[in-house]
Amino acid sequence: MGEISNEAIQKLQNAVNESNYIVFFGGAGVSTESGIPDFRSQDGLYAQKYKYPPETIVSHTFFMRRTEEFYEFYRDKMIFEEVKPNAAHKKLAELEAAGKLKAIVTQNIDGLHQAAGSKEVLELHGSTLRNYCMNCGKRYDGLKIITGTTGVPKCEDCGGTIRPDVVLYEEGLDNSVMRRAVEHISKADMLIIGGTSLVVYPAAGFIDYFRGKHLCVINMSETSRDKAADIVIKGKIGEVLGQITV
Ligand code: NAD
């Protein structure tokens, strides 16, 4: 992994200073420094051996047909109770509080941006912190209904199956979340893309709506947008954003 050059940081700092409508678009790599594995890094979930790839287990079909097995994987690999926001989450929250950043569009489902204090967080893939009964709709906030139970969690009112309010593979994204994400991205003067392999669609397609001045990519590995970006920093996003002054 190359070192993060002072020159690159300075370029990023200058762009941040110049911009007044920054939007951040991120993914699982934003939370790896908090201890949550991503899917596609070397030590990510794809590199670990399961009977099925994560994409299969975290799909609508798998959830409906093998709910118990889904929950086994989900509790083991996707639910993290003790995690805390890292320097990236915190800096983005600071930038929003200072009025410079207007929205975070995230593929993450861990709630760490909100835990850091960010307000306008568009969760394209939902959140593990929200759950609901598929039968009566009763909502269960927080992780307790998942971590405090075993097997398939059931509704205390009607006995229906509870599911997380996350978008599984094969499922559609929420319309109003998509609309707000696209609106922010199309108004942005700076788009920072970070910690995402940009291979999950339709989420990754939303960055095409960007028409602003500064496109910045901060990622450990190469992405399809590196060529189009005016700032590309290969490195850990917490380390990079941690050096930015608001
Ligand atoms: P991904 O696993 O496909 O890609 C992660 C990218 O982040 C990789 O390119 C990797 O090189 C980079 N990366 C890892 N650590 C980094 C760091 N510290 N700094 C900078 N870059 C880093 O993730 P994705 O693109 O978000 O797609 C995976 C899907 O799985 C998403 O749809 C997401 O919903 C879900 N997911 C979410 C979480 C979470 O909520 N924390 C975790 C795993 C997967």
What was the pLDDT predicted at 17? Answer: 98
Taking only the tens place, the pLDDT of each residue in 102-117 is 999 999 999 999 999 9
Angle CA 144–178–89, to nearest 5: 55
The predicted model gives 124-145 an average pLDDT of 97
Please, what is the end-to-end C-alpha distance for the chain in angstroms?
27
Residue nearest to atom 43 of ligand 1 (CA): 38
Structure tokens at 174: 């929420």
**DSSP per-residue letters across 147-202:** HT--SS-B-TTT-PBEEEEE--BTSPPPHHHHHHHHHHHHH-SEEEEES--S-STT
Ligand 1 environment, Cβ below 6 A: 27-29, 31-33, 36, 38-41, 44, 107-110, 125, 195-197, 199-200, 219-221, 236-237
* Greater model confidence, 85 or 40: 85
Q: Which of 108, 134, 124, 209 is nearest to 173 (CA)?
A: 124
Residue nearest to atom 23 of ligand 1 (CA): 28
Q: Which residue has the tokens 């994204």?
A: 173
- Percent of the chain scoring above 70 in pLDDT: 99
Whether 125 sits among the annotated catalytic residues: the reply is yes
Residue nearest to atom 14 of ligand 1 (CA): 29
Entry pTM: 0.95
* 1, 38, 73, 177, best to mutate for ligand 1 pocket (most atoms within 8 Å of CB): 38
